Amino acid sequence: MSYSYGVGQGTNFGLNDYLEYYEIYLDSLDATTSNDSDYTSQDWPLFQLNTPIPNLGGMKVIEVQIPFSFYIINSTNNEFQLTVGASTYNVILAVGNYNSTTLTTELQAALNAAGSALTFTVVFSGMNSSPNTGKFTVTATGAFTLQFGANTSDPGIFNPRFWLGFNGGTISSTSVSGTQTVVAPNVANIAGPNYLYLNSRALGPVLKTVLPAGAVNLGKGSAGPQIAKIPINVQPGGVIYWSDPDPLYWFELNNLPLLTQFDMYITIGNNENPQATTLNGLSFSVKLGLIRNKITVEQSYQGASGGFPASTVIGARKRTANF
């Protein structure tokens, strides 16, 4: 995602005759209405402006504060399938955030609780291992298959394959030293994605943002709801803080006639489904910068002519932001 337009070095925003600068301070805790009935107003707030802002020429996200209170393993992605012989079982991980030790324990417990007759052992090759591969190894007392989605193109939205280091589709155990073993092909991403998106269904489609056509989970490059990409730079329990690194560049709004209300929500990583990330009772805050095109009033005197009396003519002249 990139800003498409820049403001010249000499632009003075609210200190010249043509542009006026606003800052809006938003906290989802202050929203009284949700944009979607399936979510709380703290997770998907619809912000109403007491004073609507007309003739908007530009906008950008100045800074955000988002609590890392969301769960990497949640009720949407915490399940995959185990097959033993002709029987298939659901393996369900407890919702929450993990480190390598606790996720190893939980994965082993979930496999053993799934209902098969096998006994499973899970080992993670972490920093105290040699070599340190960052991968999970699952062993069992008999042959088994793990399945993450229907096929290899599974996007990893509705199962935990990314966090456990597995590809989409199925992987079958092989005999290693007399035991049946599966080694995850990829490094586990236990801490979750490295970034999140701030989104708005109202504002996103009118901003000139660019996503690659290969972003199949984010609208395949079409104009979407994303308005800022934010790195996740803290551990669970911390607060993600981000400020815009390019103060001279803005999104152009082409003189948006009137801003009265807009929504905002968060999605984690390369994923817009589910539509909003649940912050589990906590709120996020955003500071927006807005540039308004002023209306300059012009006044002229028209003398008497053709029997008509003299008059004063008042007209409005609109100046457009130089993006």
Where is average pLDDT lowest: 7-21, 88-102, 124-138, 190-204? 7-21
- Judging by DSSP bridges, how do beta strands 195-199 and 226-231 pair with one another? antiparallel
Segments in 219-305 forming alpha helices (H): none
Nearest-angstrom CA–CA distance, 160 and 192? 10
Query: In the predicted model, is pLDDT for residue 15 greater than 70?
Result: no
Which tokens sit at 54?
């007309």
Q: What is the mean pLDDT of residues 66-82?
A: 96
Q: What is the mean pLDDT of residues 101-124?
A: 97
Q: Is 119 helix (H, G, I), strand (E, B) or coil?
A: coil
Q: What is the mean pLDDT of residues 98-112?
A: 97
Which residues on adjacent β-strands are paired with residue 299?
A: 314
Q: Residues 64, 240: contact at Cβ < 8 Å?
A: yes
pLDDT confidence bin for 109, thresholds 50/70/90:
very high
Which tokens sit at 309?
């009396």
pLDDT confidence bin for 4, thresholds 50/70/90:
very low
pLDDT number for residue 42: 96
Does the reported pTM lie above 0.85? no
Q: Tell me the pLDDT tens digit for each residue of 25-67.
A: 999 999 999 999 999 999 999 999 988 999 898 999 999 999 9
Domains of the chain: 5-67+193-296 (2.60.120), 79-183 (no CATH)
User: Is the N-terminal amide bond of 231 cis, ω within 30° of 0?
Assistant: no
Q: Supply φ then ψ for residue 239, to 5 degrees.
A: -120, 125
**Counting Cβ atoms within 10 Å, is residue 120 exposed (0-12), middle (13-18) or buried (19+)?**
buried
Contacts of 212 (CB under 8 A, 6+ apart): 221
pLDDT number for residue 14: 55
Q: What is the mean pLDDT of residues 170-187?
A: 95
Query: In the predicted model, is pLDDT for residue 322 greater than 70?
Result: no
DSSP 248: T
Query: In the predicted model, is pLDDT for residue 117 greater than 50?
Result: yes
Nearest-angstrom CA–CA distance, 303 and 310? 4
Query: In the predicted model, is pLDDT for residue 252 greater than 70?
Result: yes
Average of per-residue pLDDT values in the chain: 86
At 242, the amino acid letter reads W
pLDDT number for residue 1: 33
pLDDT number for residue 33: 95
Q: Residues 217, 270: contact at Cβ < 8 Å?
A: yes
Q: What is the mean pLDDT of residues 186-193?
A: 94
Q: How many Cβ atoms from other residues are within 10 Å of residue 288's Cβ? A: 22
Q: Supply φ then ψ for residue 135, to 5 degrees.
A: -120, 155
pLDDT confidence bin for 11, thresholds 50/70/90:
low
Q: Supply φ then ψ for residue 227, to 5 degrees.
A: -125, -10
pLDDT confidence bin for 19, thresholds 50/70/90:
confident
Query: In the predicted model, is pLDDT for residue 311 greater than 70?
Result: no
Query: In the predicted model, is pLDDT for residue 2 greater than 70?
Result: no
DSSP string over 8-34:
-TT--GGGSSSEEEEEEEEEGGG--EE
pLDDT number for residue 301: 54
Alpha carbon of 132 to those of 107, 135, 164, 180, 241: distances in Å?
A: 19, 8, 15, 22, 31
DSSP 98: -
Of the candidates 18, 14, 17, the one whose C-alpha atom is nearest the C-alpha of residue 255 is 18
Helix and strand tally (H, E) in the chain? 2, 20
Query: In the predicted model, is pLDDT for residue 201 greater than 50?
Result: yes
pLDDT confidence bin for 9, thresholds 50/70/90:
very low
More confident residue, 57 or 303: 57
pLDDT confidence bin for 315, thresholds 50/70/90:
very low
Q: Tell me what percent of the residues of the chain surpass a pLDDT of 90.
A: 62
Q: Tell me the pLDDT tens digit for each residue of 253-274.
A: 878 889 999 999 999 988 877 6
At 215, the amino acid letter reads A
Of the candidates 185, 109, 106, 176, the one whose C-alpha atom is nearest the C-alpha of residue 143 is 176
More confident residue, 214 or 108: 108
Query: In the predicted model, is pLDDT for residue 77 greater than 60?
Result: yes
